[in-house]
Structure 1
Amino acid sequence: MIRAVVFDVGECLVDETREYGTWADWLGVPRHTFHAMFGAVIAQGRDYRETFQEFRPDFDLYEEREKRAEAGFPEWFGEGDLYPDVRAALAQLREGGLWLGIAGNQTVRAGRILRELFAQDVDLIGTSDDWGASKPDPLFFERVAEVVPFEPGEILYVGDRVDNDLRPAVAAGMPTALVRRGPWATIQWDSEEARKLPTFRIESLAELPDAIAGFNAGAR
């Protein structure tokens, strides 16, 4: 049975459209040009950070985040950046008695923002910077398994990426859900792995409560 649900952050809970737009502005690149290159890099199976290097070969994301913060433009997201289905889905899952967590590749600053947004909604918030391990490193999912009070097979990991989310979570023994939104899921949706790996393929987080209830009913 599924007893816990752990969510990725970017393009799962948070719509990153505005944030990547600000990165295009920071680079001095038209937003549509930046987004086109972003999609091309993902479609080629490359690390999304290589998008920045296409425009500035010496670009270092961590250094540039610091420069943006010093210039008064730190990374930020808020209530308005959450996907519309997030709050209701979390509330319904909580009402269903499920343990809830958020764990993704995020900075310490992003972790603070997440705690401000979701402190009353979930049982745990963890980030790659907190844990010293980033997806798809298996160590990240070992951390998830350590902090969630259930066995890996009882922990559903929800994400938008086959490569960073589904593949390593399945390798760690966890059921998974692939939500179809954002650039990665849109590009990867019809791939063989996207069809075979996830326990659930969903168009919205609103589908999760019923999907999990049906799965658990069949497991009894």
Structure 2
Amino acid sequence: MVVSVVFDVGETLLDDSREFGAWADWIAVPRHTFSAVLGAVTAQGRDNAETFQYFRPGFDLAAERRLREEAGLGERIEESDLYPDVRPALAALRESGLWVGIAGNQTTRAAELLRSLRLPAEQIATSGEWGVAKPNPQFFNHIIEIAPGKPDEIVYVGDHRDNDILPAKAAGLRTALIRRGPWGHLWADDPAVIEAADWRVDALTELPALLAAAR
């Protein structure tokens, strides 16, 4: 039985292309160069933030984020950043009687921006607000605390093998991998993902029918 569905944010709900491009511009690196190094870091299963170290050793992401804000070039999340299937999928899941939540590795500011979009979700939270980030098990404990149902009645949807699918499964949640963005495509057919993911989808709009069959 499925009672709740909770979504990751980056490359699950949001296309991160514009934000990665903004970071490349901020550190004065060609966008294609930044993307290539990000891809190499991704393929090695390392944290995205390590990408900056190749261009600026000792780069302090939190400090640079504050500088961007002060320069008027801070985080933005707009309707155009949402993947086209987000609103219809979330709305359909709610209409089917499921509790819908959003929780990802984002800043406190990102949570405010996401709420301003008025997405069809009961609750939105980020690692910045919780003070703990994926894949830390405590992040998923927070999800279990806020989402109705037992852990195995909650589905976590994400694109990342190591931050989403594996730790969510270890926490007792059911899992769905969305095959998009660099991580979703890279790991969709990874043996660990095949074993841990209850579902692998190409679009969020596949979820209402799949989860209805699981209820």
Structure 2 stretches lacking a partner, 5+ long = none
Residue by residue, what CA displacement relative to the aligned partner does 1:106-135 show, whole Å, maximum 9, x if unpaired?
A: 11100100111135x111111111111100
Partner in structure 1 of residue 59 of structure 2: 59
Query: In structure 2, the residue corresponding to 1:201 is in which secondary structure?
Result: strand
TM value normalised by structure 1: 0.96
Partner in structure 2 of residue 76 of structure 1: 76
CA distance in 2, matches of 1:84, 1:27: 30
Query: In structure 1, the residue corresponding to 2:214 is in which secondary structure?
Result: helix
Opposite residue 26 of structure 1, the aligned amino acid is W
Query: In structure 2, the residue corresponding to 1:49 is in which secondary structure?
Result: helix
Partner in structure 1 of residue 41 of structure 2: 41
The CA deviation at 1:189 is 1.7
Partner in structure 2 of residue 32 of structure 1: 32
- Kept in 1: contact 2:166–2:193 (CA 8 A): no
What percent of counterpart residues are identical? 56
Partner in structure 1 of residue 89 of structure 2: 89
Query: In structure 2, the residue corresponding to 1:177 is in which secondary structure?
Result: strand
CA distance in 2, matches of 1:170, 1:42: 21
CA distance in 1, matches of 2:72, 2:131: 27
The CA deviation at 1:190 is 2.0
Aligned-pair Cα RMSD in Å: 0.8
Equivalences, count: 215
Opposite residue 2 of structure 1, the aligned amino acid is V
Partner in structure 2 of residue 133 of structure 1: 132
CA distance in 2, matches of 1:169, 1:215: 18
Opposite residue 54 of structure 1, the aligned amino acid is Y
Query: In structure 1, the residue corresponding to 2:53 is in which secondary structure?
Result: helix
Query: In structure 2, the residue corresponding to 1:126 is in which secondary structure?
Result: strand
The CA deviation at 1:140 is 0.3
Residue by residue, what CA displacement relative to the aligned partner does 1:62-116 show, whole Å, maximum 9, x if unpaired?
A: 0110000111100111100000000100111111000000001111100100111
Query: In structure 1, the residue corresponding to 2:117 is in which secondary structure?
Result: helix
- Kept in 1: contact 2:165–2:175 (CA 8 A): yes
Query: In structure 1, the residue corresponding to 2:157 is in which secondary structure?
Result: strand
CA distance in 2, matches of 1:144, 1:44: 28
CA distance in 2, matches of 1:142, 1:92: 26
CA distance in 2, matches of 1:152, 1:182: 27
Partner in structure 2 of residue 168 of structure 1: 167
CA distance in 2, matches of 1:66, 1:200: 38
The CA deviation at 1:6 is 0.2
Q: How does 1:78-117 map to 2 (within 5 A)?
A: 78-117=78-117
CA distance in 1, matches of 2:99, 2:46: 34
Partner in structure 1 of residue 148 of structure 2: 149
Partner in structure 1 of residue 206 of structure 2: 207
Partner in structure 1 of residue 19 of structure 2: 19
Opposite residue 36 of structure 2, the aligned amino acid is A
The CA deviation at 1:149 is 2.2
